């Protein structure tokens, strides 16, 4: 099972000083275009169809061993830690 990389973003809200210190994990979308993998953020639904592969941030995907190896080698901050056995 492949889980996309995440980044800690904050502040997580307004109205209280405590929100200034709390960060939320936000998933980063991984896309494949022209055989290369890229990180992408804030894509619109209409943009998704232009990519060969799309792994939307914050979701889990079943991928083949070949895709796993390609994602790790793709230079998009994907490591073995992003994968778990099903």
Average pLDDT (32-61) is 94
What distance in Å separates the CA atoms of residue 23 and residue 13, rounded to the nearest whole number?
A: 9
Q: Is a pLDDT exceeding 80 seen at residue 78?
A: yes
Contacts of 70 (CB under 8 A, 6+ apart): 37
Q: Where are the domains of the chain?
A: 2-82
Q: Which of the 8 DSSP states describes residue 77?
A: S
Per residue in 20-46, pLDDT tens?
888 889 999 999 999 999 999 989 999
Q: Of 58, 71, 59, 1, give the one whose Cα is nearest residue 31.
A: 71
Q: What was the pLDDT predicted at 31? A: 97
CB 4 within 8 A of CB 82: yes
What's the mean per-residue pLDDT of the chain? 92
Specify the pTM: 0.85
Rg (CA), the chain: 15
Average pLDDT (52-81) is 96
């Amino acid at each position: 099972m492949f889980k996309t990389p995440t980044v800690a973003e904050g502040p997580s809200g307004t109205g209280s000083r405590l929100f200034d210190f709390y960060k939320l994990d936000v998933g980063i979308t991984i896309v494949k275009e022209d055989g290369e993998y890229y990180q992408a953020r804030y894509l619109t639904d209409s943009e998704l169809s232009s990519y060969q592969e799309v792994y939307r941030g914050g979701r889990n995907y079943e991928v083949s061993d070949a895709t796993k190896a390609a994602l790790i080698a793709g230079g998009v901050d994907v490591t073995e830690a992003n994968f778990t056995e099903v």
